[in-house]
Amino acid sequence: MFKILTIPYDSATKSFSEEILNDFCLNKQVKSFRTEFFIHEGNPSWTVFLEYDTVLEKAEGGEHEGMNEAEKLLFDRLKQWRREQAEKEGVPTYIVATNRELKDIIKNTPRSLEALKAIRGFGKKKIEKYGAAVTEMIRTFYAPSTSSG
C-alpha cells in the first residue's frame, strides 16, 4: 500500500511536526519511503511518500508470543515510548511500565483513563503520570486509516 503525507512548517513552534507521520506509521510496517522538501506560496513543507504493509500475521515465540503482527508492532512502540519516558525521568524502564503491564495494555486496549484502571500495576499515580499518553497511543494505533494524504 502507498500513502503520501504533506507536513507543513509550523511557524509557532518553528519546526515540522512529526506527529502526522508518527501517528500514521504507528500501526504500519514501512517498506520504503521518499521525502521531498518544497515551498508553496512561501510556505515550506515536506512531502513523504510511504510504501507500507498493514500488520496482520501471527508472531511466533519470545516476548511477542501469542501476538499478531499489529500487537507485536504496538508492543514495540510502547516499549520505545517507555524507554524514552524512563530516560527523561532518569529511572529504570520497569518503573514506567513492566513488560507484563505493556502486554496487558495490548490485550485490553484501554482507550480511556477509566479503562486503564483495569491494568494491574496502573494505579492512580501511574495513570495520572502516563495515562493520557498511553490511551492516546492506543486510540491512535487503532484509529482507522484514511486514504487521503
Domain 62-141: give its CATH superfamily. Answer: HRDC domain (1.10.150.80)
Query: Which pLDDT tens digit goes with each residue over 9-55?
Result: 998 989 998 888 888 888 788 889 999 999 999 999 999 999 988 77
Q: In the prediction, which pLDDT does 149 show? A: 47
Half-sphere exposure in the Cβ direction for 92 (13 Å, CA): 4
- 140/134 Cα distance (integer angstroms): 10
How do strand 28-40 and strand 15-16 relate by DSSP bridges? unpaired
Cell 503491564 -> residue: 101
Global confidence as pTM: 0.58
Answer yes or no: is pLDDT of 85 > 60. yes
